[in-house]
Amino acid sequence: MENFLLKLSIMLVPALLAITCHEVSHGYVAYRFGDNTARSLGRLTLNPLKHLDIIGTLMVFLVGIGWAKPVPVDFRNLRNPKRDMIWVAAAGPITNFLLAALSALALRSIMFLEQQYASVLAISSFLEPITLMLGFSVYINLLLCLFNLIPVPPLDGGRVLVGILPDRQAAAYSRIEPYGMILIIVLVFFTNIFSYVLAPMLDVGIRLLTGPQSGLIYSVTTFLMR
């Protein structure tokens, strides 16, 4: 129980922030392009309780990937629905990447401080939990970014692809959306997409953003996921 609470204290804030900001960014960009649906329903808020999906949140702690309640977007209200859909969909992964980059920058800064003041025990004790949370933040935000870019609707990558394709091909491809979640479950649990596609890309992203601190990210995630 004590071990679970320790993991929860490290994972909770970064996970909620990653999922919440992902959804809010969709609603905000949709609002900027003419759709007021999310704003009228009170979903343009960073209050995680407005976006929380219990099962999706639990999955973060169980398997390292989860989801929130999707922010509603009525694409018919967008000024240019097909083009604007690309930006609305892409907003989520872009936000997660930016959060990962900011977390990595903060992590590098903290590691520098720890090296400079290693003899000051109070500083090290204070910075250690922040370091662990930032390490998990880099991981979870990059993973959410990459996972949501899988080009299968209703994932963001699928909607970006529908917006890019010519009208006839886009209409045909969008018809798979009702079966999209089944396809995603099959891809994640019954294929090697994570091992052969997502994991290598995740590794590149972590090494690119954190450099010498990449080993810390893997230590933190190994501890949290076991």
Domain ranges of the chain: 2-149+191-225
pLDDT tens figures, 4-61: 788 888 988 999 899 999 999 999 999 999 999 999 999 999 998 889 888 877 777 6
Quote the pLDDT of residue 47. Answer: 92
| Cα separation, 136 vs 14, whole angstroms | 7
Q: Which of the pair, 93 or 118, is modelled with greater confidence?
A: 93
pLDDT tens figures, 56-80: 777 776 766 777 888 999 999 999 9
Instruction: Indicate if the pLDDT at residue 126 is higher than 80.
Output: no
Alpha-helical runs (H) found in the chain: 2-32, 37-40, 54-63, 81-116, 121-148, 156-164, 167-174, 180-190, 193, 199-210, 214-225
Quote the pLDDT of residue 129. Answer: 87
What rounded mean pLDDT belongs to the chain?
Answer: 90
| Proportion of the chain above pLDDT 70, given as a percent | 93
Residues with Cβ < 8 Å from 71, sequence gap 6 or more? 23, 24, 26, 27, 30, 38, 43, 51
Quote the pLDDT of residue 26. Answer: 97
Enzyme catalytic residues = 23
pTM of the predicted model as reported, rounded to 2 decimal places = 0.93
Instruction: Indicate if the pLDDT at residue 113 is higher than 90.
Output: no
- Please state the rounded mean pLDDT for residues 163-187: 93
Give the model's confidence band at 124: pLDDT under 50 very low, under 70 low, under 90 confident, else very high: low
Tell which residue, 81, 92, 16, 82, has the closest CA to residue 53. Answer: 16
| Cα separation, 26 vs 153, whole angstroms | 15
| Cα separation, 177 vs 28, whole angstroms | 23
The residue whose two tokens read 């109070």 is 122
Quote the pLDDT of residue 4. Answer: 79
